[in-house]
Amino acid sequence: MRLRRADCEGIYLMASVNLNSQQKPTRVSSLPSPPAVASALDTATRVMTPENIAFEYQLAGPFRRIVAYVADILISLVGFGIAAFAVWMGFLFLFENTFVGDELWGLLAFMTLVSWFLIYWFYGAVAETYMNGQTFGKKICGLRVMTVDGHAIDGVQATLRNFFRLLDMAPVASIPTMLGSVSDDFGLITPTCLIGLIAMTINKRYQRIGDMVAGTMVIHEEPRSFTKLAEFSDPRVASLAELIPPTFVVSAKLSRAISEYVDSRAKLAPQRANEIAVHVAQPLLQRFGIPTNTDADLFVCALYFRTFAGQPSDEETASEPVAQAFPAKTVVITAEDAQ
């Protein structure tokens, strides 16, 4: 069984949530390696965390990245047009009487070239730094830049990979030459991107030169949607949820972790699910005074139920037969009972 990032993200968070436990967490065994033939044909890459948990990312190939790059070029041209118009209007308004004739037009041309240089060379670096590895073109195409070890890129990495784009776009050629014309007219110069394409085809992560220098890769983010809350057929989930103190506030990181865990638990073997859930369950069971032999998977489900289903009103609590059938401190759900 292979888990994608959407399935594994909660597992990683579950293992990394700090609940001030004095016990050393158990080590989660690594996922089985896929067959060699499947790995050769797959466009996914696996990243192992220090906790020995595997994340799988879908790599973005050259053609999808070209679409994102063209979209970024069009967006850059729109930004350049706005910047050039603002520069021209500002200079004409401020320096109309200071510079005349060719001096004014030369200065305007110089500022226009500077504006294009800044937008073209720093748009990608700034956007990827402050938009978590995305430009507007990548966001439209569902792409993201990240490090080869699965972390978000920083400003230095974003600048490096964009700076080396000039090398990836080499060599340049004229359009008539590319069309096979032998005319003396050299024509419009355009990059061929051959170096970048060759580098991507011989690299298992589809990295161009800039990516290899910066230690980054481009992945395709799969859309994720959550339509409704998970439902539990086991009545013990609601009963166990009532033992959690109403004053306990679930942090944003913990709520995300238990949500991801509940969404992916159906794909896990019961033993593996308990190995993961125990990282959250054991410290909280001790904190709440609930017997520590309570099934960890069932407790995390109860925590999910209590966090996202909300607290029932007093009237609902009074009319709920399950709450009266299981008074506090009498519910003991063990791993043996869960099996």
pLDDT of residue 231: 83
Q: Which residues contact 272 (CB under 8 A, 6 or more apart)?
A: none
Of 234, 223, 247, 206, give the one whose Cα is nearest residue 302.
234
Contact partners, residue 238, CB within 8 Å, separation at least 6: 232, 302, 305, 322
- Cβ atoms within 10 Å, residue 240: 24
Lowest mean pLDDT among 62-76, 78-92, 223-237, 249-263: 223-237
Instruction: Give the per-residue pLDDT at 4.
Output: 45
Tens digit of each residue's pLDDT (9 = 90 or more) over 296-332: 999 999 999 988 876 544 444 343 333 333 333 333 3
Is the CA virtual torsion 6, 12, 17, 23 positive or negative? positive
Q: What are phi and psi of 48, to 5 degrees?
A: -95, 130
Q: What is the rounded CA–CA span in Å between residue 12 and residue 279? A: 11
Q: Render pLDDT for 107-145 as a digit per residue (tens, 0 to 9).
A: 778 888 888 888 888 999 999 999 999 999 999 999 999
pLDDT of residue 12 exceeding 80, the answer is no
pLDDT at 84: 84
At residue 25 the predicted structure's pLDDT band, cuts being 50, 70 and 90, is very low
pLDDT number for residue 299: 92
Mean per-residue pLDDT over the chain, rounded: 75
